[in-house]
Amino acid sequence: MSKNVLILSSTPRKNGNSSILCDQFAEGAREAGHNVEKVELREKTIHPCTGCGACARSGHCAQKDDMAAILDSMVAADTIVMATPVYFYTMCAQIKAVIDRTVARYTKISNKEFYLIVTAADDNKTAMERTLEGFRGFTSCLNGAREKGVVLGVGAWDVGAIRKTRAMQEALAMGKAV
């Protein structure tokens, strides 16, 4: 059965390492017959949540930016891939802003499969647990969310350095397994 796969790539660098792994995942998912939409968050305008509470009253965020379309895609997806470079052992601001802004409709992001892609210059995979726990904090708030896989692309500082790691094959295989 074909699934709708949404990939949220949050690297602020063009062709950043986490985006490269997203492309590998997408290739695998397409090979497996799935529909794939990749969103490069660096190309979008996403303001931080202001905590105004308007969404609690209306079900829609009062801010006018690209988040409404991203949230529509999250609700429509069967599978969501969330990818981030690691900054100071946590997710980058771009993906955190998306997570915070889902508050308007997070109850509609239900019964989804989640895959997590994390890249870092550090080669200590254990140190990436803080980043993964941040993602898991979000998915634990969603009804029926199921974590299906994690790719840790470590030891990659320079743009493109990830191409020399096992994470490339892992992301491709994970995409095929959707």
The total of other beta-carbon atoms located within 10 Å of residue 112's CB is 19
Calculate the CA dihedral of residues 12, 123, 115, 89 and round it to 10 degrees: -60
- Distances in whole angstroms, Cα of residue 168 to Cα of each of 17, 18, 108, 161, 173: 10, 10, 32, 11, 9
Domain range 4-176, CATH class: alpha beta
Q: What is the pLDDT of residues 68-126, one digit of tens each?
A: 999 999 999 999 999 999 999 999 999 999 999 999 999 999 999 999 999 999 988 88
pTM of the model: 0.97
Q: What is the pLDDT of residues 37-69, one digit of tens each?
A: 999 999 999 999 999 999 988 989 999 999 999
Task: List the structure tokens of 162.
Answer: 């990830």
Q: Give me the pLDDT at residue 124, please.
A: 86
Could you write out the DSSP letters of every residue in 78-112? SEEEEEEEEETTEE-HHHHHHHHHGGGTGGGS-S-
Measured between alpha carbons, how far is 21 from 170 in angstroms, rounded to an integer?
9
* Domain residue spans of the chain: 4-176
79 within 8 A of 178, measured Cβ to Cβ: yes
152 within 8 A of 125, measured Cβ to Cβ: yes
Task: Give Cβ neighbours of residue 127 (< 8 Å, ≥ 6 apart).
Answer: 89, 120
- Distances in whole angstroms, Cα of residue 76 to Cα of each of 35, 47, 70, 119, 142: 12, 22, 10, 27, 14
- Distances in whole angstroms, Cα of residue 144 to Cα of each of 20, 72, 135: 29, 18, 15
